[in-house]
Amino acid sequence: MSKNQAKHAAPPKAPEPVTLPDTEIAEIARRHRISAAIVTEIVRRVGTGERAAIEREIKKGMARR
């Protein structure tokens, strides 16, 4: 890649934030007895709306307590 092309290359795009419906967030929060804000933060940190990944992160956090 020449210097000229490098100057005009588009910057990498940030991944689109994942949003889940409030009902699903509330259901996960109720099931694990944590607040919906914590579930929302885990979804943001994990970067996916996949329920299994979210629940895995919740279990990791509970194991630390």
Q: What angle, rounded to 10 degrees, do the helices at 22-32 and 36-46 form?
A: 110
Q: Name the one residue in this structure whose structure tokens are 């933060």.
A: 41
CA distance between the termini of the chain: 50
What pTM, to 2 d.p., does this model score? 0.72
User: DSSP letters of 19-31?
Assistant: ---HHHHHHHHHH
Q: What angle, rounded to 10 degrees, do the helices at 22-32 and 51-64 form?
A: 30
Q: What is the pLDDT along the chain (65 residues), one digit of tens a residue?
A: 556 565 666 667 766 777 889 999 999 999 999 999 999 999 999 988 899 999 999 999 888 87
Contact 18, 49 (CB under 8 A): yes
